Amino acid sequence: MGSSKSGTGTLACNVTGINDLGLWVLVEDKEYFIPFRDYPGFINSSLNQILTIRYSPPSQINWPELDMDIELSALAHPESFPLIYK
């Protein structure tokens, strides 16, 4: 008799640190730095809003309370994704 896989997978995605320059996020086994100067949507956010983070495999993290999404490739290779904020 075979059995099917039950439950859902758990993939680690956590904010590991915050300072006045930005925040660090651990996604699975890789840590990324998110500078506030490049992502100003975090500047006036509450700690709870920043800590409420979700991972959407395979390549996106988002903050549902802030309505913000970031592609991991933009954090890994920021030179390939020039940011324009108005």
- Quick: pLDDT tens for 68-80: 999 999 999 988 8
Please report, for the domain that includes residue 40, its CATH number: 3.30.2020
User: Residue 5 falls within a domain, yes or no?
Assistant: no
DSSP string, the chain: ------S-----EEEEEE-SSEEEEEETTEEEEEETTT-GGGTT--HHHHH--EEETTTEEEETTTTEEEEHHHHH-GGGS-----
- Quick: pLDDT tens for 40-54: 999 999 999 999 999
User: Residue 55 falls within a domain, yes or no?
Assistant: yes
pLDDT class for 85, splitting at 50, 70, 90? low
User: Residue 6 falls within a domain, yes or no?
Assistant: no
- pLDDT value of position 84: 62
State the Cα–Cα distance between residues 63 and 78, nearest whole angstrom: 19
Number of domains in the chain: 1
The strand pair at 68-71 and 60-63 is best described as antiparallel
- Quick: pLDDT tens for 5-39: 444 445 589 999 999 999 999 999 999 999 999 89
List the domain range (segments joined by +) for residue 30: 13-80
Q: Does the pLDDT of residue 86 top 90, yes or no?
A: no
